[in-house]
Amino acid sequence: MKNSNLRFQLIIFMAFSIPFFSSAQVDATKLFSEEKTVTVTKDIAYRNGESDSWKLDLAMPKNFAEGTKPALVIVHGGGWAAGSKDVDVYQKMMLAYAQKGYVVINVEYRLTGEAGFPACIEDVKCAVRWLRSNAEELHVDPNRIGAYGHSAGAHLALMLAMTSDVEKLEGNGPYKEYSSKVNVVAAGSPPTELGREVPMAKSEWWPIGYIGENHPPMFLIQGDSDRIVLPERTRDFVEKMKTAGADIKYLEVEGGHGVAYAEKLEITDPAIEEFFAKHLNPVE
């Protein structure tokens, strides 16, 4: 394998049959028999170097159908200055989608206190290139890679979909022979532009700077009373993308910034699952 960390950093083996966000108990007598299982490897280094942030968690289906599988890249939120892949929401989502038949990576990246923009964009791109570099060993179809993020993570997930041909955003990480592009993206409470005259507002760092037709299918979810990511900006981005001919789906629901994270999950979870299943075709 091209990345020896993947071979030697197996820390946890777990078997799960619990639906997303369920508190049901597992019957231990069934874990290794009739129940589908997944393996989880924590804190794999997707690049070497001085930063402790270049790590990801990997969840893989174990006793599922043979053949290549789609992959899902989860990118945590936190305003680019906080947050972690270890947040319960992202850990549960990682396990839930692995149990649906996806190979899932849950990505850490450098926060702004460690490195300014666009380091976070460069890091998630490097993680996707790492995934493609290990596609054969992980039984991943490199043409069926999706991404999901919420808030700052949604911004980064959208940048994965929209900027694979922008060399200056690829950074100086390894695996440059592989593409950082994802084939489909879902984004909750997505900052598509910063909207303020500050250094971080450069259009080249935001989805609004890449309006066009030739992007992967997108699904944006917005709360109608979000005071952090304003609904009117998300609506404007969606309309501009539709006018350009992009394949973009939009869902606006009652709620604030926690929509698709901690609010309205009874609506958003099934919608996201259906969207990924349509485009990535998991086989359970």
Cβ pair 170, 180 in contact under 8 A? yes
ω before 207 within 30° of 0 (cis)?
A: no
Name the superfamily (CATH) of residues 4-280.
Alpha/Beta hydrolase fold, catalytic domain (3.40.50.1820)
* pLDDT on residue 7: 44
In three state form, how does the secondary structure of 175-208 look?
Answer: CCCCCCCCCEEEEECCCCCCCCCCHHHCHHHCHH
Each of the 284 residues of the chain gets a pLDDT tens digit; together they read 455 455 434 333 333 333 333 334 445 444 444 677 999 999 999 999 999 999 999 999 987 778 899 999 999 999 999 999 999 999 999 999 999 999 999 999 999 999 999 999 999 999 999 999 999 999 999 999 999 999 999 999 999 999 999 999 999 999 999 999 999 999 999 999 997 778 899 999 999 999 999 999 999 999 999 999 999 999 999 999 999 999 999 999 999 999 999 999 999 999 999 999 999 988 75
Ordered by start, the domain boundaries in the chain are: 4-280
* pLDDT on residue 34: 60
Q: Is residue 38 classed as helix, strand or coil in its secondary structure?
A: strand
* pLDDT on residue 43: 98
Please give the distance of CA 70 from its chain centroid, rounded to a whole number: 13
